[in-house]
Structures are given as structure tokens and as C-alpha cells.
Amino acid sequence: MSEIVTYETDGHVALITLNRPEARNAVNGDVAAGLEAAIDALEADTEVWVGILTANTEGQTRPVFCAGADLKEINAGNGAALGTKRGGFAGFAYRERRKPIIVAVDGLATAGGCEIVLAADLVVATTRSSFGLAEVKRNLLAGAGGLFRLPRAIGKSAAMEAILTGDPIPAQRAYDLGLVNRLVEPGEAVAEARRLAAQIVTSAPLAVYASRAIVLASAYEDDDTLKKMTNKAFAEVTSAEDTKEGLMAFIEKRAPQWKGA
């Protein structure tokens, strides 16, 4: 990982930070490689169960979580470097992973920045945040999942308006439409994301990972496929050591001590 994307852990939670505030955290090749490396570290560490993805907005008059693709890089012919083979745009948009990621947004998430948000699992945002797919204003397309993930998140009509006008969705409306899980005051996004992560890590990690996968699949798989996925995951999870621990903790009226196995 590079300093342009930082990674740190605290117990079972990892904090990943986009660290290019002077460029509004726009994605270049270094950001894509750094974010992919951070996800690699998250997935590989058996002691880390949840990730938080945020951005450094220090020195910005109008905070920007991420302005999307670095258009200077695209104009210079370096567009291919803005994605990775495994993760797609920013090394993240299409990355397969097991562990949930909470995105903590304090500012504008536009174009590819919004697509990064849509690729996460949960969204904590401040009241000064907004979310938009502005590509049509530049004769471009939101090519990193935004055109199908935004309708899934907020419904077709609201998404169609945002996509065709290119205008950002204010935080309150994004919350009302279901894109944002928790809405907080400016400067409080990471703290609230940590509180949400702390709640998640009280649950059994294997069950969390399996449940996440099925919820995501519910957007495009039929009921019969989802039933088979659920039955398979149920058998795998309930045969794990943590299931016995969960049952004993309930019987003994104590907090479970999960091993992730």
C-alpha cells in the first residue's frame, strides 16, 4: 500500500483512507493500486472483520470525498491505469470480497466517486455530503456500475433523474431514498462508521459474510437460486465452531467470543 491510500487497523476493524486531498481524491493509477492493496490486506487478515472506507478532505474549501476519475490522466491517455484487473475502477468497483465495507462520506461523491460509494455495503454520510453521476455532462457514461447500482439503491425513477441530469443528490434526500444508512453532522462520518462497525463485529463473522453475499445476490438472482445459496451457506455456517459458541453464549447469558471459524 502507498501513502496515497492508507490502511490501519483497530481490533476487528480496518480504516482505509483515500489520501489525495489536493486532487479532490480523484482516482489515478496510484489510488487504484493502493485501494486494491488495502482490500487485499483486509481480506487476508483473519482478525479484521469489517472495513471502513473514507477520504482525507483536509484543506478543501468544499469537501470532496472523491471526484471520480482523474480526467487529466484520461486526457493524457492513461485511462487504463485507473482500474485493476481484479477490482475494475479504483481497484474496488467490481472487486469480489467477503467482508463488509462501510463507506464514510463527508462531502461530494461524484462520478466514479459515487460509484465507489455504490460498491460499498453500507453508507454513513454527513449532512453536507451529496452523491451524483455527472458523466453525461461530459459526454461520458458511468461505466463502473453506477448505471445499475444506483437504481437498485434508490429506485428507477429517482436514479433516472439523477443520471440523466447529472445533478447530485443531497444527503438528506439520499437518506430518505435509502442510499444512506446513517446521516450525521459534518466531521462525524468516520466516528459514526466506527460505531456501526462495532455493532457488526458483535455478530459472528462467518454468518455476516454469508448473509452479505446472499443479500447482494438478491438483486439479480431468482428465488430458486437464492434458496440454494441460502441452504448451502446455512449448512456451512452451522457446522462451524462459532455456532457452538453462539449457542453456549446464549445459554450462559454472556457475550460470545467469536473465532471466525
Which residue ranges make up each domain of the chain? 5-200, 205-251
Within this chain, domains 5-200 and 205-251 share the same CATH topology = no
User: Is 135 designated active site?
Assistant: yes
Instruction: Check residue 2 and give its pLDDT.
Output: 57
- Work out the pLDDT band at 78, boundaries 50, 70, 90: confident
Choosing from 135, 188, 221, 252, the catalytic residue is 135
Chain mean pLDDT for the chain: 95
Residue 253 has pLDDT above 80, yes or no: yes
pLDDT tens track for 43-59? 999 999 999 999 999 98
Fold of 205-251: Lyase 2-enoyl-coa Hydratase; Chain  A, domain 2 (1.10.12)
Nearest one of 204, 203, 161, 153 to 179, comparing CA atoms: 153
Per-residue cell: 244: 457452538
State the burial class of residue 235 (Cβ atoms within 10 Å of its Cβ: 0-12, 13-18, 19+).
exposed
Per-residue cell: 217: 445476490
User: Is 185 designated active site?
Assistant: no
pLDDT tens track for 90-129? 999 999 999 999 999 999 999 999 999 999 999 999 999 9
Q: Give strand pairing partners of 103.
A: 53, 123
Q: Please tell me the distance from the alpha carbon of residue 231 to that of residue 228, in angstroms, as a whole number.
A: 5
Choosing from 36, 73, 115, 192, the catalytic residue is 115
Fold of 5-200: 2-enoyl-CoA Hydratase; Chain A, domain 1 (3.90.226)
